Amino acid sequence: MDSSISTLLVPQLPLEREDQKDHGDSFLHTPFLQKESSVPINFIWPKRDLVVAHDELREPIVDLGGFFSGDLVATQHAVQLIRAACLNHGFFQVTNHGVDPRLVKMAYHHMDNFFKLPASMKLRAKRTPGNMWGYSGAHADRFSSKLPWKETLSFGFHDSDSKPVVEDFFKSNLGMDFEQTGVVYQKYCEAMKDVALAIMELLAISLGVHPLHYKHFFQDGSSIMRCNYYPPCKEPGLAFGTGPHCDPTSLTILHQDQVGGLEVFANNKWRNVRPRPDALVINIGDTFMVSA
């Protein structure tokens, strides 16, 4: 099963895009939900987009262990690797990030269980027009061509002393049977926030501003959690799991499974980002590039 879990830090939640309109329940007819044998025309992308990456991005692998333990030399080394990455393509991977591997494993376990559910169950969390959160099959309720070959479950996170917003999302949309799923993803989102704020401190140092400048700015920020499931495709050369795009957010933290397939356009070529089970893939987004 090819899948990824990404958290996108935003200073404020993006507004619903104007071009999104409700195509009704058309996504009920997505091929992977209907087990059709070929790729329907609305999932086929233009040949100019379907470029296969052969080279690796060779992005820096940044060990955060020294930063977390207060080792100034290791912190400076991490800062230099991050600075070099951000001056180039904005991607790097981090290890010793402090996220419990058992939590990551549980997040995948619950995600696998969700996407294996019958469509009728998944549709209980269906993304509704004007809403960023919920289940989507290929975004077929929003777009009518160049559909991504994926199912996505998205939900929002922000720190709240009064209530665990992620737990509440799962209980209110999917019922008490998903309470434990909500607990796992609440913990996952909280862990990703900690990683994001650590990265923001290193980014600040790399830019020569006060080390806590961005950490304080994003302290009360929100994030978009996205679980992406990419079903097997009989003609993968015709489709995209997720089409070419820039992240309109500030920071993306992605854990990809070991199937691979994440590609980045850098130095005029699409390049593969090698999956590393112990690492998180980090990229700065448009709103950070603008603000930096």
Ligand X SMILES: C=C1C[C@]23C[C@H]1CC[C@H]2[C@]1(C)CCC[C@@](C)(C(=O)O)[C@H]1[C@@H]3C(=O)O
Interface residue list for ligand X (CB under 6 A): 8, 14, 139, 148, 224, 242-243, 245, 247-249
256 binds, among ligand AKG, ligand X, none (CB under 5 to 8 A by kind): ligand AKG
Report the candidate in 221, 224, 227, 226 with the shortest Cα–Cα distance to residue 200.
221
Q: In the complex, which residue's CB is closest to ligand AKG?
A: 4
Pairing between β-strand 269-272 and β-strand 55-56 as defined by DSSP bridges: parallel
Burial of 92 (0-12, 13-18, 19+ CB in 10 A): buried
Name the binder of 139 from ligand X, ligand AKG, none, CB < 5-8 A by kind: ligand X
Q: Supply the DSSP symbol for 26.
A: G
User: What is the contact mask toward ligand AKG in residues 196 to 235, using x (rule: CB under 6 A)?
Assistant: ------------------------------x-x-------
Strand, coil or helix: what is 63?
A: strand
The answer to the question of residue 242 lying near ligand AKG (CB under 6 A) is yes
- In 3D, which of 144, 168, 143, 148 has the Cα closest to residue 158? 168
Residue 90 CB, nearest approach to ligand X (Å): 14
Q: Which is nearer to ligand X, 153 or 266 (CB)?
A: 153
Q: Measuring CA to CA, which residue among 20, 3, 9 is closest to residue 139?
A: 20
DSSP string across 120-181: HHHGGGBPPTT-S-EEEETTTTT-SSS--S-EEEEEEE---SS--HHHHHHHHHH-GGGHHH
Report if residue 75 touches ligand AKG, rule: CB under 6 A: no
Which of ligand X, ligand AKG, none does residue 248 bind to, with CB < 5 to 8 Å depending on kind?
A: ligand X
Task: Tell whether residue 136 is a contact of ligand AKG (CB under 6 A).
Answer: no
Among 186, 222, 250, 256, binds ligand AKG (CB under 6 A): 256
Contact set with ligand AKG (CB under 6 A): 4, 6, 226, 228, 242, 254, 256, 262
